[in-house]
Structure 1
């Protein structure tokens, strides 16, 4: 685990980064001053040398590993280049931007997957988007985030039925006609509700569409052991001071529903992993955010009262990425805000050797900390759970 905040560069590495800086400046000079076509080869990644300007027609070849050539500008779809090209501000220099140009945000790994990117960005401008949710999600999970598609209308159900009104929508299964089912193995909500009983093998959040089952009792019973209750967590703060927050990887939005019943507004992040999770969350009447765990959280510093995560933050995430995520959670929580780490799982030796020290480097105060065995795959796996309630210090939180 690399939790050090100091980075020491070898002379060769330092020389490489100096070369990269000079090369990128030269590339920028040529792109802005010459209309001619040229080829530029370096040892950095394709994303670092992508030229988004569509007016010059340059071709840039990058060898990222010494034996594979990355895509050139000519390999990339025109609509992608149009979406990522700098745009001059109509009224010139703007002091808020500190520039006269807007540069569109786009996930830099997009260009590492030119075949998928070409499929995704091939559509009639001002027309309908292809029905390709699975392709879009795969690109997003590979780091092409935010996705670059901008100028087409997404597929929608032909006979769409509006969601039920509140509060009926909170604990009701929405109409099948509210979803485009193309990307999923299930083609209706009945299939999703019953898949924990009828479907073999693993599916993400396999039983969480079954609102009358285990989902109905999550976080409301008196907490014991690893299972904290919402009332137990809210009781750690003055009444009314936990008001807004985020559920990271929140399945079908039940945590947000339960917190809504306590007058706490929760936004839920979720992917559509073999199910229309985001559509389902919205149909229930709470807010979904479609983003991956590698995305920087779209909230300003020191703003959220509480952040909850159940099962998503686990040992499947690369350790350095997890360390970034923990610091990002710390960033968006206000001083005194709570991070509810719910059933984090890992191997027994990983917990003490890697994850406990990692969490401690971030600077949270431990309010509640419980570990226990994860036994669903048998004791021989030596898997552990950690449930923790962590507080960002109210004073000196920087």
Structure 2
């Protein structure tokens, strides 16, 4: 905490992101999020795709602040198993991500279309909790359902990756109160 509060106010905090991540993982919440700024992506570089096209196109390495990560590209991350559900999860073209939630791996899997049928067309917003690349939110976006994804950057830049796909991500741990009124979210997805 001393290291975090020793930084100058209102400056870029690219070297403090790793410290903040460790504090969040140890349930040191709430942290003062706006003490300093995250590094922003240059607006002069044209590497983002229009929405819906952006859901399954490869994401440029320039969209991410790679400080604090061993890998400095998505190609490097694709060769690693970052967590139980994330092996090649940054490979949107050749990996399994574009098939997740659409094709089942086992008889216990819920498919997106089956779940949406249960809602009789009344599901328009959802919430995804966990570490992933935002594929659940992407599949739901193709079906006109807005999904807010809550994730941390554990072993990889998940939050920036989800945002670069044109999806709505929030950088909150489970210890936070999520910004929703009770019973306002008809659909939620959670990963352990």
**What is the correspondence of 1:1-398 to structure 2 with a 5 Å cutoff?**
117-129=1-13, 131-156=15-40, 161-162=45-46, 163-193=48-78, 195-196=79-80, 202-204=81-83, 205-211=86-92, 212-221=94-103, 225-238=107-120, 240-310=121-191, 312=192
Contact 1:161 1:178 in 2 (8 A): no
Which protein, 1 or 2, shows the higher relative CO under an 8 Å CA cutoff with sep ≥ 6? Answer: 2
Structure 2 residue runs of 5 or longer lacking an equivalent are: none
SS across alignment from 2:23? helix
Q: Distance in 1 between matches of 2:104 and 2:67?
A: 41
In structure 1, what is the Cα distance between the partners aligned to 2:61 and 2:171? 20
Q: Which runs of 4+ in 1 moved over 3 A?
A: 156-162
CA distance in 1, matches of 2:176, 2:67: 26
Q: Which runs of 5+ in 1 are unaligned?
A: 1-116, 197-201, 313-398
Return the TM-score normalized by structure 1.
0.44
Q: Against the structure 1 CA distance between its residues 185 and 130, is the aligned structure 2 distance closer, same or farther, given a 3 Å change threshold? A: closer
Number of residue pairs the alignment of both structures matches: 188
Deviations 1:316-339 (A, max 9, x none): xxxxxxxxxxxxxxxxxxxxxxxx
Partner Cα distance (1:229, 1:292) in 2: 26
Q: CA distance change for structure 1 residues 250 and 140 in 2, over 3 Å: closer, same or farther?
A: closer
Which structure has the bigger radius of gyration?
1
The SS at the match of 2:190 is: strand
Task: Report the 3-state secondary structure (helix = DSSP H, G, I; strand = E; otherwise coil) of the residue aligned with 1:203.
Answer: strand
Name the structure with the higher helix share: 1
Write the deviation string for residues 224-279 of structure 1: whole angstroms up to 9, x where unpaired.
511121111112221x2011110111500000000111111101111101111000
